[in-house]
């Protein structure tokens, strides 16, 4: 598969989730996203609202990040506040311990709590931390996300020591959720070849902080 830079940019959530990120860095991220033509920027909720004009670039944020070890009510409140501050999309982290013990009802409950807190015109992505889960647990988490009404499942926070996205996990997630739910690959995507491999595996969105370098290596037309 060959994807031009302009086409590839539309897959990318241009991401800045560093714990020491500043408002000036967010402004720079927004300007770079506009220049590159990425789908969105993804930033921490504490950096909202964004005062820099984004044009056609959407605004994504995270909740329950990065551990997922927050009460469902806290995740829901965080998501609601983020949407009120202008977020178009929310990437929530599940409690991966629930997936590890097979607690399907618990997963559905916490995801549904966030889904209910996010307005219907906003998008919810569910981060399952796939590198820390077995195949069976990945399937369980994805099925819970779909049942709870999420529009996307996402591989990773990029902060877990187990690692980030793999093509195997993306393929399994795509096979589990079917064609109607998005799959976001995130964590460790730093070059053009990896980005394309994730799309070939079934990803419909990519979380990248190295977006400029990735797109510079892509065919320009």
Q: Which residues are catalytically annotated?
A: 91, 154, 184
3-state secondary structure 161-216: CCCCCCHHHHHHHHHHHCCCCEEEEECCCCCHHHHHHHHHHCCCEEEECCHHHHHH
Nearest partner of 154 among 208, 218, 86, judged by Cα:
208
* Helix and strand numbers, DSSP H then E, in the chain: 9, 8
Compute the distance between CA of residue 171 and CA of residue 165 in angstroms, rounded to an integer: 11
What does 77-90 look like in DSSP terms, one character per residue? HHHHHHHHTT-SEE
205-208 and 182-186 strand pairing: parallel
Segment holding 121, helix H or strand E: none
> Omega into 66 within 30° of 0, i.e. cis?
yes
Phi first, then psi: what are they for 200, rounded to 5°?
A: -60, -30
Q: Which residue stretches of 118-166 are H helix?
A: 135-147
Instruction: State whether residue 100 is helix, strand or coil.
Output: helix
């Amino acid at each position: 598969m060959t994807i031009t830079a302009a086409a590839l940019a539309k897959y990318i959530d241009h991401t800045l989730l560093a714990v020491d990120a500043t408002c000036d860095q967010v402004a720079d991220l927004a300007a770079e996203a506009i220049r590159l033509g990425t789908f969105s920027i993804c930033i921490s909720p504490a950096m909202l609202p964004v005062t820099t004009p984004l044009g056609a670039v959407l605004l994504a944020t995270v909740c329950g990040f990065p551990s997922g070890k927050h009460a469902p009510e806290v995740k829901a409140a965080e998501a609601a506040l983020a949407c009120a501050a202008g977020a178009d999309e929310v990437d929530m982290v599940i409690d991966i311990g629930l997936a590890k013990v097979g607690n399907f009802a618990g997963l559905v409950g916490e995801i549904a709590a966030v889904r209910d807190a996010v307005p219907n015109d906003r998008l919810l992505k569910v981060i399952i931390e796939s590198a820390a889960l077995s195949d069976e647990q990945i399937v369980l988490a994805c099925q819970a996300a779909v049942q709870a009404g999420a529009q996307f499942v996402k591989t990773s926070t990029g902060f877990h020591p187990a690692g980030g996205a793999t093509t195997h996990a993306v393929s399994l997630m795509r096979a589990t959720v079917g064609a109607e739910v998005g799959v976001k690959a995130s964590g460790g995507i730093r070059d053009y070849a990896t980005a394309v491999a994730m799309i070939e595996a079934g990803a419909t969105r990519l979380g990248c902080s190295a977006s400029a370098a990735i797109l510079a290596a892509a065919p320009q037309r």
